[in-house]
Amino acid sequence: MDLQTLLFMFFGGLGIFLYGIKSMGDGLQKVAGDGLRDLLDRFTTKPIMGVLTGIIVTVLIQSSSGTTVLTIGLVTAGFMTLRQAIGVIMGANIGTTVTAFIIGINISDYALPIIALGAFLIFFFKNHRVNNIGTVFFGFGALFFGLSLMGDAMKPLRGAEFFTDLTVSLSDHPLLGVLVGVIFTVIVQSSSASIALLQTLFDQGTISLNAALPILFGDNIGTTITAVLASIGASVAAKRAALTHVIFNLIGTIIVLILFIPFINLIEYLQATMSLNPKMTIAFAHGTFNVTNTIIQFPFIAVLAWIVTKLVPGEDKMIEHKPVHLGEKFIRQSPSVALGQGKKEVLRMGELTEQGLKEVVDYYKTKEKKHRELLPQIEDALNNLDKVITDYLVQISYHSLSDQDLKTHSSLLNTVMDLERIGDHIENIMELIDSQINNKVKFSESAVNDLDRMFELTSSTLRQALEALQEDNESKAGAVLANERLINKMERDLRKKHIQRLNDNLCTGTAGIVYVDIVSNLERIGDHAVNIAQAVIGDI
């Protein structure tokens, strides 16, 4: 075969392999349900549970990078602490070895029938679960078919003198092998693809075990680049989690390079005693490396957390997403007391909402990232509290309540919905400010002054509504209703002024769209503040 055909086969096979991995992971994830985030959130309270959860999630989505990025997202959102994240990252490194073991079961001859079965389940059934299972089979077959194409393209290398010389150099210089593994994995963004290719080369006899193992270690380091990229622009805690992933794999590689000869002897012993085929030999080497690395470093999770905290300095503001006042014991003891606890949690949700509005106002005025970073955390916290508080209040409703408690119960349920919707409008304003920054949109001086006044009036109205709720003060609630009329009038006036500025060529169309949308979201926040006040008065 000519060089062009070989290159087409290799890169085409690589593409099919990567698509197969993604399809299999997507299918498994859908079959398992959409609870992976909840799984990570609920079962990572202890480091050992974090490791086990990391293994399970990685097996389901077939990507350690995917698990790490998901973990970084949870850390960024404040759902997970750094120590919990470290345990999950360790588990992800073990879970990713499953792909290598799957490849070790050499069934490339059946790749096309498996793809056909997957396609049949996808296109000839209308049941979503069957379709998802079909996606798993299709991805599974594509994985082996792509690997087979890559293997065929690599066969001529076995007789190439330059490649023979390269493998000798890799055997003599393990650090060079590590570097090759890092570079290739960074390029293809998949350690599974790198290790699968390594398994194929070793299976063909193109590369020796001495040369293959350092590349394997480099693949583990290279896969951390995805987590590093995901942490760019994220919170300090997310940056620390990504750096932990890098350090964890670097330390593991250093340890195994120091003990390189004993490690090779161990793998050769396993190969001989268990009659492992070449692909399965690499899979066992991969699994042994990651499991041993986790066992060694697991007792030092606190030390790893301390190291990355020193390397990535800065204060990371974290939002408490979980309720702090609720508990089923209150419902069992007294529904009235439980309702009081529910009100405390609703007021805490209100404080978070008020904080969110303050942060988005500061972001609008300063354009500083420190204000922008907290907003997604606050939105996630509000969404979580909306669900948890609503469920709690529903449980209370199953018990007998006095007329006054029924009024309070109804008021709190409505308030929770309004606070969650305010959070959505705050997120909308944040995205509009992002658009303003990205498109370099500037408002005229009069527009800025008008918007400042509307931000101030909306903020004070929300504050009054929450104070009215806290104190059950109908007088303050009445003041909110009066403010809402002012907000509505201001919104109409600002729209008219905006049209006038457009007519006078003082404002661009793009700036006008962003401006009017911000004003509309502020007006809607005012409406929800009024709903809270009306709940206090009893007019709902």
Query: In 3-state terms, the chain is what percent helix, strand and coil (to 5)?
Result: 85, 0, 15
Does residue 341 sit in the same domain as residue 295? no
Does residue 274 sit in the same domain as residue 415? no
Q: Domain for residue 42, yes or no? A: yes
Does residue 301 sit in the same domain as residue 421? no
pLDDT tens series, the chain, 540 aa: 567 787 788 788 878 877 877 777 677 667 655 555 566 666 666 777 888 888 887 777 666 766 776 776 677 666 677 778 888 888 888 887 887 887 777 777 788 888 999 899 988 888 888 888 888 888 878 877 887 777 677 666 655 555 556 666 666 778 888 888 888 777 766 777 778 888 888 887 778 888 888 888 888 888 777 667 766 666 677 778 788 888 888 998 999 889 988 998 999 999 899 888 888 898 899 889 989 989 998 888 888 888 888 888 766 566 666 777 776 767 766 777 887 888 888 888 888 899 888 988 888 888 887 777 778 878 888 888 888 888 888 888 777 777 777 888 888 888 888 898 999 999 998 888 888 888 787 777 777 888 888 888 888 888 888 888 888 878 888 888 888 788 888 888 877 777 777 666 666 666 767 878 888 888 888 888 888 888 877 654
**To 10 degrees, the CA torsion angle through 222, 223, 224, 229?**
100
Rounded Cα distance between 390 and 221, Å, is 44
Does residue 288 sit in the same domain as residue 381? no
Does residue 269 sit in the same domain as residue 352? no
Boundary (domain end) residue, out of 250, 278, 311: 311
Does residue 339 sit in the same domain as residue 307? no
- Structural domain boundaries, residue 68: 3-311
Helices (H), 79-233: 82-95, 97-104, 111-123, 128-154, 161-172, 174-188, 191-203, 209-222, 225-231
Question: Residue 381 is part of a domain; what is its CATH number?
Answer: 1.20.58.220
**What's the whole-model pTM score?**
0.62
Does residue 274 sit in the same domain as residue 387? no
Domains: count for the chain: 2
Does residue 214 sit in the same domain as residue 280? yes
Does residue 494 sit in the same domain as residue 349? yes
Boundary (domain end) residue, out of 252, 277, 311: 311
Boundary (domain end) residue, out of 311, 346, 376: 311
Rg (CA), the chain: 29
